[in-house]
């Protein structure tokens, strides 16, 4: 039997955030869901929808206070809000670089900071950070997105050790491609430099950015509903890994990245095997 909890889910207007919201509600949990517009294509007696700019630290604190007022507790925080940015390092503007770090990296930090005093007082809670294979490896043209996710992984791994003695669990969800609009209408693009057109052609099949996409088109991949089901099962369990790997082919992608990294280190004297 599922014990009802109070969930706070950011970026809930579509994709994985919406799927998590719907799945948590169906399981009997109370959900405080945040979007930039304060609206959601769903209604439920246990659902509260609030507006949040995840880059605003004070707003994050107010949202946690509101969640506590609504339900008296806060059991699960899911930092899902974020976006992708296509652009070579040379192409990125200062505004673009700061904006994606504000949302994809600092946003989860601010909400985590806001939630921890409440969870610490309860002696329980679960912080869930939505990462991706982009938090393990890096891809040309996605460097600042990778930087944000690598940063998220770094501070979250440290966080897990900091709060485990307080009864607070922490999870990094590493997903591969999901069948959402993240890679199509949800993607942002830097102004292109022609010097990188050939690379764009190799990677994306076109040198043109933004690449054309039909209204409502998705990037293909694992259903967000399936990923949401995996997250709910992990949270309901008494224990589990820090890094939760979900989605078709995700483990293979991560294994490939780690193998390449190990091979790179192995070329250096300090990492060469002493056997033989």
CB atoms within 10 A of CB 241: 9
The Cβ-side half-sphere exposure at 31, using a 13 Å CA radius, reads: 28
Catalytic residue status for 93 = no
Do residues 169 and 237 touch, judged by C-beta distance below 8 A?
A: no
DSSP 8-state secondary structure symbol assigned to residue 223 = -
3-class DSSP state of 253: helix
The one catalytic residue in 13, 149, 190, 196 is 149
Q: Which residues, in sequence order, are CB contacts of 194 under 8 Å at separation 6+? A: none
Do residues 121 and 170 touch, judged by C-beta distance below 8 A?
A: no
The residue written with tokens 């989860």 in the block is: 108
3-class DSSP state of 260: helix
The one catalytic residue in 69, 73, 124, 131 is 131
Do residues 130 and 9 touch, judged by C-beta distance below 8 A?
A: no
The one catalytic residue in 13, 132, 145, 190 is 145
Question: Tokens representing 242?
Answer: 């820090």
Catalytic residue status for 131 = yes
Catalytic residue status for 14 = no
CA dihedral over 171, 177, 181, 182, signed as positive or negative: positive
Give me the residues paired with residue 225 across strands. Answer: none
Do residues 257 and 133 touch, judged by C-beta distance below 8 A?
A: yes
Cα 153 from Cα 31, distance rounded (Å):
25
Q: Which residues are identified as catalytic?
A: 131, 145, 149
């Amino acid at each position: 039997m599922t014990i009802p909890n109070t969930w706070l889910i950011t970026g809930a207007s579509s994709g994985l955030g919406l799927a998590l919201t719907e799945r948590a509600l169906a399981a009997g949990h109370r959900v405080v869901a945040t979007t930039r517009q304060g609206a959601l294509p769903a209604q439920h007696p246990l659902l509260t929808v609030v507006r949040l700019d995840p880059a605003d630290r004070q707003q994050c604190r107010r949202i946690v206070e509101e969640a506590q007022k609504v339900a008296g507790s806060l059991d699960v925080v899911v930092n899902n809000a974020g976006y992708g940015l296509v652009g070579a390092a040379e192409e990125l503007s200062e505004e673009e670089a700061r904006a994606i770090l504000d949302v994809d990296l600092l946003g989860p930090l601010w909400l985590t900071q806001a939630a921890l005093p409440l969870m610490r007082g309860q002696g329980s809670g679960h912080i869930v950070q939505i990462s991706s294979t982009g938090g393990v490896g890096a891809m040309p043209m996605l460097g600042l997105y990778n930087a944000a996710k690598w940063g998220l992984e770094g501070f979250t791994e440290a966080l897990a050790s900091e709060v485990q003695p307080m009864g607070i669990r922490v999870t990094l969800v590493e997903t591969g491609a999901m069948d959402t609009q993240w890679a199509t209408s949800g993607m942002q693009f830097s102004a292109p430099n022609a010097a990188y057109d050939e690379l764009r052609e190799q990677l994306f099949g076109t040198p043109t950015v933004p690449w054309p996409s039909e209204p409502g088109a998705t990037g293909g991949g694992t259903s967000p509903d399936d990923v949401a089901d995996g997250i709910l099962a992990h949270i309901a369990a008494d224990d589990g890994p820090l890094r939760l790997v979900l989605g078709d082919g995700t483990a293979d992608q991560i294994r490939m990245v780690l193998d390449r990294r190990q091979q790179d280190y192995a070329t250096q004297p300090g990492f060469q095997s002493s056997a033989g």
